[in-house]
Amino acid sequence: MQKRSPLGTFGIYATVIFTCAALLFPIYWMILTALSPRTRLREYPPRFWPDDPQWGVFADLLATQPFALWMWNTILVAVATMILSLTVGVLAAYALSRHRLRGGQGLGLFILTSKMLPATLLVIPLFAIFKSLGLVGSLWSVVIAQATLIVPFATWMLKGYFDTIPPELEHAALVDGCSPLGALVRVVLPVAAPGLAATALYAFVISWSDFLYARTFLTTSESKWTLNVGIATLKGEFVTDWNTIMAASLMAAVPIIGVYLFLERYLVGGLSSGSDK
Amino acid sequence: MIDFSSPRHRAKFGYLLLAPAVLMMALIIIYPILLSVDISLQDVRIARVGGDREPWTLENYDWLVRSGEFWNAVWVTAKMVLTVGGISLAIGLATALLVNQKFRGRALARLFVALPWAVPEVVATVIWAWMLDSSFGVVNWALLKVGLIGAPIQFASNATAAFFAVCFVMIWKGYPLVSIMLLAGLQSIPEEQYQAARVDGANVWQRFLFITLPSLAPVIGVTAVMTTLWVFRDFAIIYVLTQGGPIGSTTTLSILTFEQSFSFFRMGQGAAVGVVTLVICAFISRALVGRFANSVH
């Protein structure tokens, strides 16, 4: 590798900084607006630096909107979806990875194609089914609907991780008298822990971002709204209170950004696992 | 009690592990899809399971072919796929190439460059709605300041502007995935190829054209299909930003499906649009699945 000239180094850093600044400006703008005094939002020219940050906006949000409830509902849905899809996904992925099953290939393809289903089509029959089961307005409806996307995804991602673990590990455990299920739980899962964590977090992210299912199944029962439904409604109702909306958006985005910072190094494997593996 | 550790029953154990997933997929994916085809063949406003059912009819598909709404949605979707796909691919490739350079702090740059991936769609849309606000938005302020426009652009009421507003948000949400996948592709190109080309006197541009692009082609193909399907499926961005308006300028097939079903409560017609969308998506994803099958065997 040839050494870069000082000018080249400067060029690289200038380009990187400029690119990041341009691409991340909306995130900065969200934070800035959230902290701006309400009266400043209608001033020209806009201010690009928070010289008078209003931290009270978050307390305001909790006091005037059922924000805590939205957050709680979103967490409940995300955790339930995560547990459900991980449980089902681990078993299926392990079977697909270790056993040569008839129809295993076909199932793999099915899992893959399920990613391509238009969700707005699926939501119609699901609505009819949930209506007859009395699930409309319950958080479970959203959990089940999200599983249509997340279970196949988690299965495929986990299969990728299981494929990297040598089968000799369980064989040794089986020889020592461990049951097949015991071998999976006590030997394979601990080794696959990073993969499990990545898949769980990924499921969490997908669930957290859902809007369609929550919007369709939960709109009529306000006590069950998730963050995304709440924020979308705020945008429709209080068009002028942009600082409140941005504060809510910021709090909704922070957990996912946190997960992303942790997950980034696993992301490439996970995102591409459904496509070219 | 079957001893699952004996070789004879190993396969049974496999099927047992698979059973919950298969059962679940059958219940929440396959059955609903069949049900949606069934709904699309009935003249129903609000679909139900069980009870009285309408006789099968092709009325909804007849409506679909004759109505301008459907063809408008096809046209809008196609335009959006090309705009969003093209620009996301360009930004994704540019950013991937940039953070694939060797420099200190590269790990941090990689983290930042794909950060919009972590912003939930509704949040991203709300941020852009505020930035594109026609009276106090920062985008209009900047464009006026630079002198590119004489009067603020009405992103909410102007059909063309609304279409591009949706595209902006989609590109901003869509390019990070492209960038992440292409970066992975770039990293798998062996350094020796570049060294050999350099020895042969190839310049930067030639190395990009004859090594980087051909090696990336499969990844670019997969990414393009994924982005296309994502634009087809997307609901949150368009619905929160424009609700498909004004005058249908941002009504994609996905939005039309939802609008017919849950705004106008014509689930028969909505399902018909959805089924046609599913068929189109299936054709598009054949490219992806075909590639997958090739790489497996």
Question: What is the maximum alpha-carbon separation in chain A?
Answer: 76
What is the structure's pLDDT at A276?
A: 36
- Does residue B243 register a pLDDT over 80? yes
Which regions in chain A score pLDDT beneath 50? 1, 273-277
Chain B residues with CB-CB distance to A99 below 8 A: 10-11, 13-14, 17
Q: Which of residues 14-43 of B touch A (CB under 8 A)?
A: 14-15, 17-18, 20-22, 24-25, 28-29, 31-33, 35-36, 39
Q: What is the pLDDT of residues B117-126, one digit of tens each?
A: 999 999 999 9
Closest CA to A131 of B226, B44, B82: B44
**A118: nearest CA partner in chain B:** B233
CB contact at 8 A, B262 and A220: no
Q: Does B102 contact A276 at a Cβ distance shorter than 8 Å?
A: no
Question: Which residue of B10, B29, B288, B295 is the best one to mutate when testing the A interface, meaning the one whose CB has the most A CBs within 10 A?
Answer: B29
What is the structure's pLDDT at A275?
A: 39
d(CA B285, CA B245): 28
Chain A residues with CB-CB distance to B141 below 8 A: 44-46
Structure tokens at B17: 């592990």
Question: Which residue of A96, A124, A267 is the best one to mutate when testing the B interface, meaning the one whose CB has the most B CBs within 10 A?
Answer: A124
| Residue keyed to tokens 């080794």 | A191
Question: Which residue of B41, B95, B119, B243 is the best one to mutate when testing the A interface, meaning the one whose CB has the most A CBs within 10 A?
Answer: B119
Chain B residues with CB-CB distance to A147 below 8 A: 24, 28
**A42: nearest CA partner in chain B:** B136
Give the confidence band of B202 by pLDDT, cuts at 50, 70, 90: confident
User: Can you say how many angstroms the Cα of residue B157 is from the centroid of all Cα atoms in its chain?
Assistant: 25
Q: Does B21 contact A27 at a Cβ distance shorter than 8 Å?
A: no
Among A12, A107, A110, select the one facing B103 at the smallest CB separation: A12
CB contact at 8 A, B42 and B221: no
- Does residue B292 register a pLDDT over 70? no
User: Can you say how many angstroms the Cα of residue B223 is from the centroid of all Cα atoms in its chain?
Assistant: 10
CB contact at 8 A, A45 and A171: no
Q: Where are the alpha helices (DSSP H) in chain B?
A: 7-25, 31-40, 59-66, 68-99, 106-113, 121-131, 138-146, 159-187, 191-199, 204-207, 213-233, 236-241, 253-258, 267-296
Residue predicted with more confidence, B43 or B87: B87
What is the structure's pLDDT at B164?
A: 95
| Mean pLDDT of all residues belonging to chain A | 85
Structure tokens at B208: 């990009």
- Does residue B152 register a pLDDT over 90? no
Q: What is the pLDDT of residues B57-70, one digit of tens each?
A: 898 999 999 988 99
Which pTM was predicted?
Answer: 0.89
**Nearest-CA distance A256 → chain B (Å):** 6
Q: What is the ipTM of this complex?
A: 0.89
Number of CB pairs, chain A paired with chain B, less than 8 A apart? 307
Residue B161 near chain A (CB below 8 Å): no
Reduced 3-state DSSP string for A114-153: HCCCCHHHHHHHHHHHHHHHCCCCCHHHHHHHHHHHHHHH
Residues ≥6 apart with Cβ < 8 Å to B168: B128, B132
Among B130, B270, B274, select the one facing A246 at the smallest CB separation: B130
| Residue keyed to tokens 């072919």 | B65
> How buried is B256 (Cβ within 10 angstroms: 0-12 exposed, 13-18 middle, 19+ buried)?
buried
**Nearest-CA distance A85 → chain B (Å):** 9
Task: Please report how the helices A119-133 and B31-40 are oriented relative to each other, as an axis angle in degrees rounded to 10.
Answer: 100
Q: What is the pLDDT of residues B158-189, one digit of tens each?
A: 999 999 999 999 999 999 999 999 998 898 88
d(CA B106, CA B162): 36
Residues ≥6 apart with Cβ < 8 Å to B280: B232, B253
Structure tokens at A63: 């006091």
Residue B136 near chain A (CB below 8 Å): yes
**Nearest-CA distance B5 → chain A (Å):** 6
What is the structure's pLDDT at A1?
A: 47
Go through the domains of chain A in sequence order and give each one's CATH number. Answer: 6-54 (no CATH), 65-273 (1.10.3720.10)
Question: Which region holds residue B243: left if phi is over 0, alpha if psi is between -120 and 50, else beta?
Answer: left
Among B32, B33, B257, select the one facing A120 at the smallest CB separation: B257
**B29: nearest CA partner in chain A:** A148
Residues ≥6 apart with Cβ < 8 Å to B293: A109
Chain B residues with CB-CB distance to A185 below 8 A: none
What is the structure's pLDDT at B40?
A: 93
**B242: nearest CA partner in chain A:** A236
Q: Does A125 contact B32 at a Cβ distance shorter than 8 Å?
A: yes
Closest CA to B174 of B240, B234, B258, B250: B234
d(CA A73, CA A68): 9
- Does residue B296 register a pLDDT over 50? no
Query: What is the domain class of B67-296 according to CATH?
Result: mainly alpha
CB atoms within 10 A of CB A174: 17
